[in-house]
Structure 1
Amino acid sequence: MIFSKAAKILFLAATVFVIGNNIGQAQNYYLYVALESEDEVSLIRYDGETNQGTIKETIKVGVYPTENEGPHGLTVSPDGDYWFVSIAHGNPYGKLWKYNTETNELVGQTELGMFPASMEISEKTGLLYVVNFNLHGDMEPSTVSVVDPESMTLVADIETGIMPHGSRINSDGSYQYHVSMMTDELIQVNTSDLKISKRLHLAGDKDTHSSGMSSGMQTNEVHAEPICKPTWADPHPTENIVYVACNGSDTIVEVNTKEWKVTRRFQTGKAPYNLEVSHDGRLLVASYKGEGATGVWDLNSGKELARIQNSRRVSHGVAISPDNRYAFISMEGVGGEPGSVDVIDLEELNRATVVETGKQAGGIIMWKVED
């Protein structure tokens, strides 16, 4: 089964009566993970019945064998036929590479900006939107590159904030959301007219003093030094809400996208980096990069249900299965330590198993689920 965003919601509606009876355990879950220090991408299969994860294939990426080119962000086309990886450490610019999911063969590429990072394809426009994080460049506004994934042609570069990251698109494909790490902003891009439609400064005065869940206020003030340091944004699947990981202030911010204001703030573990909302909108899963842990939050109550220690000290990406049963967390490792992918059981709220990988497991994305 291949799941687009809309199909994930339909899948949930059709199967909600059996998910509670562990139907996910009889399924195989396939996902890709980028190994940034290895110049590789691994295809992982997790068997929910045997609780075993295996690496089905490892694909070499990059063209210079003596240099580390750094595969960073990943996404899969809505039809599941192709996967894309951003090659971050280009000289001077990075690239976007396109692969066939059945053969894992390279079928196209194009040049992007400096240090291209996270990305996603809009189901409304069919275009791919990737943020250029510009990690090694000057502290100046960067861009969102818009690419036609069919022809692998660069369509536009949209100027945005400083060090943009955490690129995700809402369920109907109309808006792309990303954060500007060094200006503490959540930014909304209209996917049709390829223009920024809204900006929200996230680090109001209450941000550094919040505890648990509290109200927030919109502010137009731009601090000289970032406070929130946002690293990720993810829209709710059915509501006009976006959740943002504030890596610098140990908080997750909830933003109402209609009213365009902060509505709640959650005090989290150290340095939340990546997050994803479950496809039923019930849970939020966040990687705490500063403490090698995963937080699972109930969005209705605003309470953290569990904080689960990971297999490595530095956690990175989050990918939740379409049936909302598992969260897959990529783990970077430290120094020469290999990376891993932790499988978190979202019903039992524990770490089900660990899949060992190459060094610096980072970008991670679901591909498909098979019975």
Structure 2
Amino acid sequence: MKKIWISSAFILFSLLNVQAQDYYIYVAAESEDEVSLIKFDGEKAETIKNIPVGVWPAEIEGPHGITVAPDGKHWYLSMAHGNPFGYLYKFETGSDEKVGETTLGLFPASMQISPANGLLFVVNFNLHGDMVPSTISVVDPESMSELKQVTVGTMPHGSRITPDGMHQYSVGMMSGELFEINTMTLEVSRILNLDTNEAIDPEMDDAHAIHEDHSQHNMGGNTMASMSEMGATMEHHHSATKPTWVMPHPNKKLAYVTGNGSDEILEVDLEQWKIVDRFKGGKGPYNLEISPDGSKLVVSYKSDGSTGIWDLKKKKEIARIENLRKVTHGVAISPDNKYAFISVEGIGGEPGTMEVIDLKKGKRVTYAELGKQAGGIAFWKMEE
């Protein structure tokens, strides 16, 4: 009997080992000009590679947004700083060698690739420019050429695409708008004012029309007219909602928006095209992600230095985890719905971190230390 018990235990242990997963995540450190590849084995997270991505040794070029192609063969990185425009870099996964680049607009940030047509959509956040409508750069990632810049709101952020790849969403942080782009026509199809919950006709949006009239393409970027050139023809609007991220639901006609200025999460019905619910969470919600099964929403509270987990069916926050350092930034969730990976910037000379949260237990499992100002985060793959 004893031998049988030992054999059964050994078989069970072997099966658990076979089923164990390794998770691989890329995180960009904006003030370090490097990207870290992190491996999490279910217990421990460790940096297995630091990839230098800067070109100019005396300058911080600011790697900001990062995304992995749907087929997992390449990853893409926006370099926020440039002269005068930022850049998009293309790397091969595995070797992590840079294999392409192109010029974008002012301060390019978050991005994603449409699975419907393979085009990459990256927001030009325009952090250091005039308070005017900025653009979404549409890039062919095969040729690494910018095809078009689509005018959206002031300080656009949170470029996210529906699972079918047909629509891209972004928010204007300072103009307080939600934008929908048709990924086939490459045109803005709908605009929602998040401060008033009113739809705006893209054809009648005077501010964007003015911007288009005063814009011209130059080396893959927009050379925008200054505010003095526009004069008093353009009315300033500083949003109370201050949206910073948008994420469409994986299987419902809903999208969720972080109201960084109003300390709330907005639920938008994409068929009615209006806000239908508001959730009060922590202070300064910044980024968010929804689990692939659609059950949980994970949000980074940038001002609080914490991470919230929401049960979307109950519309209730079921856990809030205080992060190890301040300035919580990005969120990525594993395809098996088990773990959330959170990037935390840190303050001053502190290193950044990537924290691993067990979504079922609502607790931090482990963490890895990274370069300063860890921000952009993207899930690469799972391996047994």
Q: Compute the TM-score of the two structures, normalised by the length of structure 1.
A: 0.88
- Find the counterpart in structure 2 of residue 239 from structure 1: 252
5 Å matches for 1:296-335? 296-335=309-348
CA contact 2:22–2:39 (8 Å) conserved in 1: yes
Secondary structure of 1:118 counterpart: strand
CA contact 2:165–2:183 (8 Å) conserved in 1: yes
Q: Which runs of 4+ in 1 moved over 4 A?
A: 22-25, 219-223
Q: Deviations over 1:266-324 (max 9, x none)?
A: 00100000000110000000000001100000111111001110111110000000001
Unaligned runs of at least 5 residues, structure 1: 1-21, 205-216
CA drift at 1:225: 2.4
5 Å matches for 1:32-47? 32-47=26-41
- The structure where helix makes up a greater share of residues is 2
CA drift at 1:91: 1.4
Give the letter for the 2:60 counterpart. Answer: N
- Of residues 253, 264, 270, the one that matches 1:257 is 270
5 Å matches for 1:200-211? 200-204=192-196
- Find the counterpart in structure 2 of residue 161 from structure 1: 153
CA contact 2:174–2:237 (8 Å) conserved in 1: no
Give the letter for the 2:167 counterpart. Answer: Y
Corresponding position: 1:58 with 2:50: yes
CA drift at 1:173: 0.1
- Of residues 88, 97, 114, the one that matches 1:96 is 88
- Find the counterpart in structure 2 of residue 338 from structure 1: 351
**In 2, distance between residues paired with 1:104 and 1:74?**
13
Give the letter for the 1:71 counterpart. Answer: P
- Find the counterpart in structure 2 of residue 199 from structure 1: 191
Secondary structure of 2:282 counterpart: coil
Unaligned runs of at least 5 residues, structure 2: 1-15, 206-234
**In 2, distance between residues paired with 1:120 and 1:314?**
23
Give the letter for the 2:198 counterpart. Answer: Q
- Find the counterpart in structure 2 of residue 26 from structure 1: 20
Give the letter for the 1:31 counterpart. Answer: I
- Of residues 348, 358, 361, the one that matches 2:371 is 358
Secondary structure of 1:173 counterpart: coil
- Find the counterpart in structure 1 of residue 198 from structure 2: 218
Give the letter for the 2:136 counterpart. Answer: V
CA drift at 1:23: 9.8
CA contact 1:98–1:106 (8 Å) conserved in 2: yes
Give the letter for the 2:345 counterpart. Answer: E
Secondary structure of 1:135 counterpart: coil
Q: Deviations over 1:159-188 (max 9, x none)?
A: 111100011000000000000011111100
- Find the counterpart in structure 1 of residue 176 from structure 2: 184
CA drift at 1:85: 0.2
Give the letter for the 1:197 counterpart. Answer: S
Count of aligned residue pairs for this structure pair: 337
Secondary structure of 2:115 counterpart: coil
**In 2, distance between residues paired with 1:135 and 1:294?**
25
CA drift at 1:218: 3.4
CA drift at 1:223: 8.0
CA contact 2:114–2:165 (8 Å) conserved in 1: yes
CA contact 2:285–2:300 (8 Å) conserved in 1: yes
Highest CA radius of gyration, 1 or 2?
2
**In 2, distance between residues paired with 1:219 and 1:32?**
37
CA contact 2:199–2:273 (8 Å) conserved in 1: no
CA contact 1:24–1:323 (8 Å) conserved in 2: no
**In 2, distance between residues paired with 1:177 and 1:254?**
14
Give the letter for the 1:136 counterpart. Answer: H
- Of residues 297, 300, 303, the one that matches 1:290 is 303
**In 2, distance between residues paired with 1:171 and 1:144?**
19
Corresponding position: 1:271 with 2:263: no
CA contact 1:25–1:47 (8 Å) conserved in 2: no
Secondary structure of 1:295 counterpart: strand
Change in CA separation of 1:24 and 1:137 when aligned onto 2, cut-off 3 Å? farther
Secondary structure of 1:233 counterpart: strand
**In 2, distance between residues paired with 1:25 and 1:349?**
22
Q: Compute the TM-score of the two structures, normalised by the length of structure 2.
A: 0.85
**In 2, distance between residues paired with 1:298 and 1:201?**
26
The Cα RMSD (Å) is 1.7
**In 2, distance between residues paired with 1:369 and 1:218?**
42
